[in-house]
């Protein structure tokens, strides 16, 4: 196989229509290093920035997603780029799409569009996919707000990252207070998003793109996107699943039981997730967070174009299963199986 370089996020994405997507400390170099280490351990031809990388140093294993980082990887013979980074239209990698590269990850343009919660949820709603009732709030109108939604609500960034910046809001005073803080800090730009709070069970579903996969040593072709088993979240902090940079997902998440996985409600939400992935045209896994109402009906509330891909490849990272890996284990995949199946979905870049 051609040589693989794994990219991490080296800088903030540009502001888009006044909205800023926040950056994770380290820019996903931790999961990038997990991926590189696991692939190398299994004799996959991964290149690294330095000759003898230290397993404790994340950035020994991954290249920054800058012109310099990409060109360094190309000089070292990289033909496959694993985009373990936040993408957006005109991302630097697009400048190299004429080099006959192969890509693991989404197209930058796709992520640029669907990272916007308002746009994505509008698309889902227009296709009869259940989402919570929601409203857009801007820096210009938030003090004179006439909300149609009832409290409690969930306040979240429009271009968010996991549960970072997501807050359960119980009354109008709390809402104004949190909006004032959010807008004054400018971490997420000049608009925000509120949606009805659903008090049922929360699950997260990884949707894989269509393609050929190996499951239990058997080749299987999926002619449309498909779902890994749903994972339930628990031990919420004030109604919100804690950010996984603070609490490891293994401490507050587990795959649903066999009985739960076969319920009508879960099968229905799987179909909604598959339909969402088809509408968007995914080329790599996405993760969709869903929550039930009091009647047990699930609503899709967050579509994550870049699921975290941490894993227990290095000795100091044994508790770093991602939500996607927890789910993958249920169908018999270990970390390498998951990564190898993702690698098999690589696509040829072209201008």
**Least confident window among 35-49, 52-66, 128-142:** 128-142
Q: What is the mean pLDDT of the chain?
A: 93
CATH numeric code, 3-105: 3.40.50
Asked if residues 157 and 192 have their Cβ atoms less than 8 Å apart, the reply is: yes
Query: In the prediction, which pLDDT does 141 show?
Result: 79
Question: Residue 205 and residue 17: Cα distance in Å, rounded?
Answer: 29
Q: Which CATH architecture has domain 133-196?
A: 2-Layer Sandwich (3.30)
Q: Who contacts 338 (Cβ-Cβ below 8 Å, separation ≥6)?
A: 311, 324, 325, 328
Give the class (CATH, top level) of 202-332: alpha beta
How far is residue 140 from each of residues 154, 157, 296, measured CA to CA in Å? 20, 16, 37
Query: In the prediction, which pLDDT does 247 show?
Result: 66
pLDDT tens per residue across span 187-224: 788 888 899 999 999 999 999 999 999 999 999 999 99
Instruction: Give the pTM.
Output: 0.94
Task: Give the mean pLDDT of 31-58.
Answer: 97
What tokens does 47 get? 């290149």
pLDDT tens per residue across span 99-125: 889 999 999 999 999 999 899 999 999
What are the extents of the domains in the chain?
Answer: 3-105, 133-196, 202-332
**Least confident window among 128-142, 161-175, 264-278:** 161-175
pLDDT tens per residue across span 228-264: 999 999 877 777 776 655 667 878 899 999 999 999 9
Coil vs helix vs strand at 249: helix
Query: In the prediction, which pLDDT does 242 show?
Result: 67
Query: In the prediction, which pLDDT does 140 show?
Result: 84
**Least confident window among 61-75, 117-131, 136-150:** 136-150
- Closest C-alpha among 213, 349, 221, 345 to residue 283: 345
- Closest C-alpha among 89, 118, 83 to residue 16: 89
Angle of helix 264-280 versus helix 117-126 axis, rounded to 10: 110
């Amino acid at each position: 196989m051609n040589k693989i370089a794994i990219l991490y996020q080296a800088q903030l994405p540009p502001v888009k229509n006044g909205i800023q997507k926040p950056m994770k400390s380290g820019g996903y170099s931790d999961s990038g290093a997990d991926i590189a280490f696991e692939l190398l351990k299994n004799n996959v031809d991964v290149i690294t920035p330095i000759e003898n990388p230290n397993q404790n140093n994340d950035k020994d294993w991954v290249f920054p997603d800058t012109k310099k980082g990409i060109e360094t990887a190309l000089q070292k013979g990289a033909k496959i780029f694993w985009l373990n980074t936040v993408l957006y239209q005109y991302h630097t990698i697009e400048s190299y799409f004429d080099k006959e590269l192969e890509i693991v990850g989404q197209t930058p343009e796709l992520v640029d569009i669907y990272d916007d919660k308002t746009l994505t949820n509008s698309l889902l709603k227009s296709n009869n996919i259940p989402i919570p009732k929601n409203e857009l709030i801007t820096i210009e109108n938030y003090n004179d707000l006439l909300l149609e939604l009832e409290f409690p609500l969930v306040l979240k960034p429009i271009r968010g990252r996991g549960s970072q910046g997501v807050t359960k809001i119980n009354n109008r005073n709390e809402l104004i207070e949190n909006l004032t803080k959010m807008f004054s800090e400018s971490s997420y730009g000049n608009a925000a998003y509120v949606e009805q709070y659903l008090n049922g069970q929360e699950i997260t579903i990884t949707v894989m793109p269509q393609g050929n996969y190996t499951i239990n040593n058997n080749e299987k072709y999926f002619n449309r996107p498909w779902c890994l088993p749903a994972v339930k979240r628990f031990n919420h902090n004030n109604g919100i699943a804690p950010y996984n940079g603070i609490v490891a997902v293994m401490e507050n998440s587990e795959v649903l039981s066999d009985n739960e996985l076969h319920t009508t409600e879960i099968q229905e939400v799987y179909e909604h997730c598959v339909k969402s992935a088809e509408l968007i045209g995914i080329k790599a896994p996405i993760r969709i967070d869903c929550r039930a109402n009091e009647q047990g009906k699930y609503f899709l509330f967050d579509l994550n174009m870049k699921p975290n891909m941490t894993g227990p490849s290095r000795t100091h990272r044994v508790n770093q299963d991602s939500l996607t890996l927890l789910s993958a284990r249920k169908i018999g995949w270990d970390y390498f199986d998951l990564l190898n199946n993702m690698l098999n979905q690589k696509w040829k870049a072209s201008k």
